[in-house]
Amino acid sequence: MKNMKQEAIKVFEEKKVRSIWDIEQEKWYISIVDVIAVLTDSPNPRKYWSVLKTRLKKEGSQLTTNCSQLKMVSADGKSYKTDVADTEQLFRLIQSIPSPKAEPFKIWLAKVAAERLDEMQDPELTIDRALQEYLQLGYFSFILFFRSIFSWRILIISISFSSIR
């Protein structure tokens, strides 16, 4: 993983979470131990991660196999190899952490997953969600234009199908 230039420290609940942006893969890699420290309040997040890795391996999870190690600056100012996860891996990891702090995140993940499954059944829901997000970002005129074009396409497709029958 070369060319990782952009390092960042995020602060969550007054705890630091180290991360690195991979320019080539266009992904953030986040320190697993830091996330565990935030979500568990464990006095020894490294030990917690070690035990969790062992448990996940026994369960047959590929999560720990797919995690990478990258050099990150530690609290002492030196760089050490640290287990990191990309966003997808991190979501899976958080689902494995039994902690009251992780529960709101798990509930949010379940809600988002349910919404996406609904959108797969009814693609118009996806368009409606995208339009709402654009409106929140202030793209009002574009949305009205897009919505009117899209409505015409639905009408044309509906007419085409009804004429075939």
Q: What is the mean pLDDT of residues 133-143?
A: 66
By C-alpha distance, which of 60, 62, 63, 81 is closest to 72? 81
Same domain, 83 and 139: no
Q: Is 55 helix (H, G, I), strand (E, B) or coil?
A: helix
For residue 157, the enclosing domain spans 122-164
How many domains does the chain contain in total?
A: 2
Whole-structure pTM value: 0.65
pLDDT-based confidence at residue 161 (cuts at 50, 70, 90): very low
Residue 103 lies in a domain: no
pLDDT-based confidence at residue 24 (cuts at 50, 70, 90): confident
Half-sphere exposure (CA, 13 Å, Cβ side) for 21?
Answer: 8
Inform me whether the pLDDT recorded for 135 exceeds 90.
no
Question: Are 139 and 147 contacting, i.e. CB atoms less than 8 angstroms apart?
Answer: no
